[in-house]
Each structure stands twice: as C-alpha cells, then as structure tokens.
Amino acid sequence: MKIAWRWLGLMALALFALQLYFVIRVAAMVVIAPQSTAFERSEAWRITREKSEFRWRQQWVDYPQISDHLKRAVIASEDDGFANHDGVDWDALEKAWAKNTQAEQRAQQRSNAKPPKIVGGSTITQQLAKNLFLSGERTMVRKGQEFVLTFLLERLLTKRRILEIYLNSVEWGEGVFGAEAAAQHYFRKPASRLNAFEAARLAVMLPRPKYFEKLPNSAYLSGRASVITGRMADAQLP
C-alpha cells in the first residue's frame, strides 16, 4: 500500500513539475518569441526523413507588420469570437461534437463507408496551445492538457500577443510556416501588403494547408475566400 501511495505521490509531483514548466514557457512568451513549436519540430523531422531536399520557409514579423486584412480573415474563418471568449468557445465545441457524432453514426450505417470527416471546434488559442506544446493524437488526456494550456495562454498573454504568435507559427503549406512565409510563397509580397482577397484565401487554407497548396485554382478555395471577405468587416481585432 505504501508503494502505491509513493507512486501516486511521484506521479503528482511529475504532473506539477510539467505544469510549472508550461507556466514558465508561456510566461516567457510575453517578451520572447518562441523559436519553434512542437508541430514545427515534428514536421521538420518528417520532411527530413521523407524528402530528398529539406525546404523550410519561416520568418517572424511583428504584429504591426502583418496586414490587418489577414488578421481579420483568420478570425472570421477560424474563430469569430476570438476577441471576446476566454479561450474556449463552448457553443462551437458542442456543435462540432454533435456534427461528429452524426457523421460517425451515418458512417456506421453504410457498408464500405469512408471514415467520417471530423469537424473541429477549437479556437485560435486552443490551436496555438496544441501547436506549441502537444502532439496531434486525439485522446482525452491530450485534450485535457490542451484546456490547461489554453487557460495559461489566455491568463498570461494578451489577445494581441496570442494572435501574433499564432500568425507567425501556423502552417500554410509543406515547410511553409507563418504569415510572412505564406505571403511570399503564394503572392510574392510581404505579409504587410496582403489585400483582403489574398488574406481570405490564406485563411481558408488553414484547416488543410498542404491540400490546398496543391490545388491553387480550387473552386472551393475561391468561393470560400469570397465568403470570408464578406465577413471580415465584422471581425473584431484585439
């Protein structure tokens, strides 16, 4: 019995140490830009193993050097309540859960059905928490840690800083990370000069950047970008 309690104590201590590590890392981001994210490191390792040539595009630019069009487009497309929620959009999560449950039920009723498409309800802050620190696995433990990290990001960083880090680290294609690299890669211009429609196209790519990188003339991409352009005026910047 004593051994069991000792193990429980050690596990609790390890968990506390891990959370303290995350607190220190997030607090440092108030003034220090993260050099890389967990997702970037995993992608760099994958590209190194799978590709004969390693190509990586990323350049940090400060918040004022990113077009307001892109900020508004990303908020309108990914998280329209970003400026007002506390890191988690519970209504969006509930709707995503309901859609995923229905999709799984339909897939089970069909023979030889494709795996159901999973709809996400994560906010920009949740996406950043996952990209910065976590793996892509779908488990309750990982989701719980994501909520804790989201809470830390929202409490220790401003909304403006969260958006700045997100836009500089999010994936926009194979080895293409951040707004500046995306603007140069797709439009041959700096992120500060993106117009509304260009910004909307980049925002629409975010859920599946590698897929849309191969389909630059996609009708869906253009059509959805037009919709997002119409919503951008209502997007509230932090």
Three-class DSSP labels, 147-162: HHHHHHHHHHCCHHHH
How many CB atoms neighbour CB 56 within 10 A?
14
Residue type, 59: Q
Q: Quote the CA–CA distance of 115 and 106 in Å, as a whole number.
A: 10
Asked if 99 and 49 count as a contact pair (C-beta separation under 8 A), the reply is no
pLDDT of residue 174: 95
For the domain spanning 38-86+155-238, the CATH number is: 1.10.3810.10
Tokens of residue 161, six digits: 């800083």
The conformation of residue 60, written as its DSSP 8-state character, comes to -
Mean pLDDT in consecutive groups of 10 residues from the start of the chain, 238 residues: 78 88 95 95 92 90 98 97 90 65 56 50 93 86 92 97 98 97 98 98 96 92 96 95
pLDDT in tens, 38-76: 999 999 999 999 887 888 999 999 999 999 999 999 999
Measure the N-to-C terminal CA separation of the chain; round to a whole number of Å: 53
Residue type, 90: W
Tokens of residue 145, six digits: 């840690």
Residue type, 194: L
pLDDT of residue 75: 98
Domain boundaries, the chain: 1-30, 38-86+155-238
Q: How would you classify residue 80: left for phi > 0, otherwise alpha for psi between -120 and 50, otherwise beta?
A: alpha
Cα 160 to chain centroid, rounded: 15
- Bridge partners, residue 57, by sequence: 176
Q: Quote the CA–CA distance of 182 and 145 in Å, as a whole number.
A: 29
Whole-prediction pTM: 0.88
Asked if 142 and 134 count as a contact pair (C-beta separation under 8 A), the reply is yes
pLDDT of residue 102: 56
Asked if 119 and 96 count as a contact pair (C-beta separation under 8 A), the reply is yes
- Greatest alpha-carbon pair distance for the chain in Å reads 66
| Selection from 161, 132, 129 nearest residue 145 by Cα | 129
